[in-house]
Structures are given as C-alpha cells and as structure tokens.
Homo-oligomer: A and B are copies of this chain.
C-alpha cells in the first residue's frame, strides 16, 4: 500500500468523522449521518476529479473509500457518548482532513503536470469542498466563509509543499511537514481568533 493511499484513507476517515459529528449535532437519523459522512469525505476529491475530467471519479473505482466512510460513521455514532466536547473533536478532525486532502490534491495536480498555481488550487478544492458541501446541506454557513482563516491555510500549506519539493526534500517528508503545518496553523488560527483584515 503506497504512502499516498495511506494519507488518502486517513483523510477520508477524518472528514467522514467530521461529517458524522455535524449530522449528529443536527439530530439526523443514522442514514442521514452516513450520507453526510460520505458527502464530506468524497466531496472535495469528487469535484476535483470532475473538473479535471478524471472519471469515473475516485470513489467509484475504489471500494475501500466507501468501507472506510461507513466504518467511520458507525464508530462515530457508537462512541459519541465518550466524546463530550463535540466542537473541539470536530475541529481537530476537520483540521487533519484539510491537511491530508490538500496534499492529495496538490500531488494529483503535479502528476498531471499542471502549473504550480493550478496544483495549489486543486489542493484547496480537494481539502475544502467536502466541508463546504457538508455545511450547505446542513444549512450552516460554510466554515470557509466564516471570519477565521481556513482556505488560506490550505493554500499556504500547498505552497509550502511545492517549496519543499523545490529544495529537493524527500516527497514523503515534505508531505508530512506540510500536513502538520496546516493542522498547527488551523489550531493557532482558532486559538487566537486570527482573521484576515478587511480593506473596505
């Protein structure tokens, strides 16, 4: 099993759990919880694959994804009683999902030899669109549009990865550093309530 597919499974699990938590907060039934897990986990990668024309999209070709998502949703439903502080848990899973999927998206762009700007855009789409879909379906204001810095973190993480590759760092190491950078940055943003200034 390749390094990237491990990252992919971890990201799928993280976003599936974050989708399940959001759905349970809104009191959806178990089936709704599974759907939300699914949409959150595959939304970003699906939009990316559709935009670049890499179809059938990934989760149709790869049965593992569906199994991981259903397992994540069931585990979340069974063990939520032990997870008192929903919002922090949800936040951490969301941050890891963002980091893991951003890197998957950038890497896919590199494989297809897109320009660096487009690679970063594909990373950001992969990392953030699942959460946007989750929020839109649940009638929440998408996290990405709230005041705190979200998609910008994904963009910076993607740029960092390209930079580390440019200085000949090993790709696995660059991946791990960039993911940890994204998670740490998100924690700092939320901890200190960082927000972009407005010019108007």
Q: Contacts A60-B118, A142-B137; is A30 near B66 (CB within 8 Å)? A: no
Name the segment of A2-10, A46-54, A165-173, A175-183 touching the other chain. Answer: A46-54
Identical copies in the complex: 3
CB-nearest residue of chain B to A42: B51
Chain A, interface SS category: helix
Taking the complex as formed, is A55 at the interface, i.e. its CB lies under 8 A from any CB of chain B? yes
A32 and B65 CA atoms in complex are apart in Å by 31
Size of A's binding interface in residues, CB under 8 A: 45
| A20 to B65 Cα, complex, angstroms | 37
Contact B60 A30 (CB under 8 A): no
7 interchain pairs, CB-CB under 8 A: A31-B151, A35-B144, A50-B50, A51-B57, A66-B117, A77-B199, A137-B142
Map CB proximity to B onto A91-107 as digits: 1 under 8 Å, 0 otherwise.
00000000000000000
